[in-house]
Amino acid sequence: MFLAGIATHLLYRIYEARLLRRLDRSRIPRHIGVIHDGHRRYARKEGLPDYKASYRAGMSKFIELLHWSEELDVEAVTCWLLSTENLRRPSEELEPYYDVLIELFDRVPYEVHGQDLSVKFIGNLDLLPERLLKAAKRLEQSCRSGSRRLSIALAYGGRQEIIDATRDLVQRLVAQGFPPAAIADNINADALARHLYTADLPDPDLVIRTSGEARLSGFLLWQSAYAEYSFVDVNWPAFRRVDFLRALRDFTRRERRYGR
């Protein structure tokens, strides 16, 4: 069994090297969105003592993703770590997850040192407990000036983002003195896009979702209209570099039509 494991690991390393050699670097996506799904299923499948062990495994994988993205010069990554729907889970599930997220946010600055990475949190952050919000702010403060961009979606819902953007745009038009009759005429796709949480980023080129679920669940609804999608069968804590490379390989082979 031990020798079989070594052999399997060696084969994957060879396969990774082959994927890297054949990857068209000129077509690497500028912006990748990731839905980190499957922590609880992973815990049950692996017989872990509790979900917290699975969360920690998933957050270590999150750190690996940052290194993989930096290696391939991906300009922006947006990671969905907590949805508004997740907040309805019982506290005995949420509190351990908050603990692990705080550990992660305190760890990231040391892990990405030298990567020229800036971090921004998006979502309805007022819904977060104070201790988690403070950890998020510490991370933003520690990583605020890099040219590569990491956006972390917490208490995030795609429909709510569009509602918030619309409200913000209408408030801006009112503040600029537009009469009520003219407000509707000034609400358009370009204007609304400037008020989204990710207004300072290019739209995602590729969205990856783990755990085998083939749906967006509201992730970057507006921005992902013309993104390519990769639905990966493995749960997030088991996501491997080879899975990431295969998703990129498939992306570089696609002909993007942008709805045309």
What beta strand segments (E) does the chain contain?
Answer: 31-35, 76-80, 117-122, 148-153, 206-209, 228-231
Task: Note the pLDDT of residue 205.
Answer: 97
* CB-based burial, 136-173: b 16+ in 10 Å, e otherwise: beebeebbeeeebbbbbbbbbbbebbbebbeeebbeeb
What's the rounded Cα separation, in Å, for the pair 48 and 26? 41
- Does 126 participate in catalysis according to the annotation? no
- In the chain, the domains with their CATH numbers are 27-156+197-253 (3.40.1180.10)
Tens digit of pLDDT at every position of the chain (260 positions): 554 556 566 777 888 889 889 999 999 999 999 999 999 999 999 999 999 999 999 999 999 999 999 999 999 999 999 999 999 999 998 999 999 999 999 999 999 988 899 999 999 999 999 999 999 999 999 999 899 999 999 999 999 999 999 999 999 999 999 998 899 999 999 999 999 999 999 999 999 999 999 999 999 999 999 999 999 999 999 999 999 999 999 999 998 887 76
The residue annotated as part of the active site, out of 24, 50, 73, 86, is: 86
Task: Note the pLDDT of residue 255.
Answer: 87
Place of tokens 């947006």: 78
- Does 86 participate in catalysis according to the annotation? yes
* Spatial contact of 168 and 195, defined as CB atoms under 8 Å apart: yes
What's the rounded Cα separation, in Å, for the pair 214 and 218? 12
> Angle CA(31)–CA(36)–CA(37) in degrees, nearest 5?
140
Place of tokens 């770590």: 81
Task: Note the pLDDT of residue 9.
Answer: 65
List CB contacts of 117: < 8 A, sequence separation 6 or more: 66, 70, 143, 146, 148, 149, 150
Task: Note the pLDDT of residue 5.
Answer: 54
> Angle CA(246)–CA(78)–CA(16) in degrees, nearest 5?
20
* Spatial contact of 202 and 226, defined as CB atoms under 8 Å apart: no
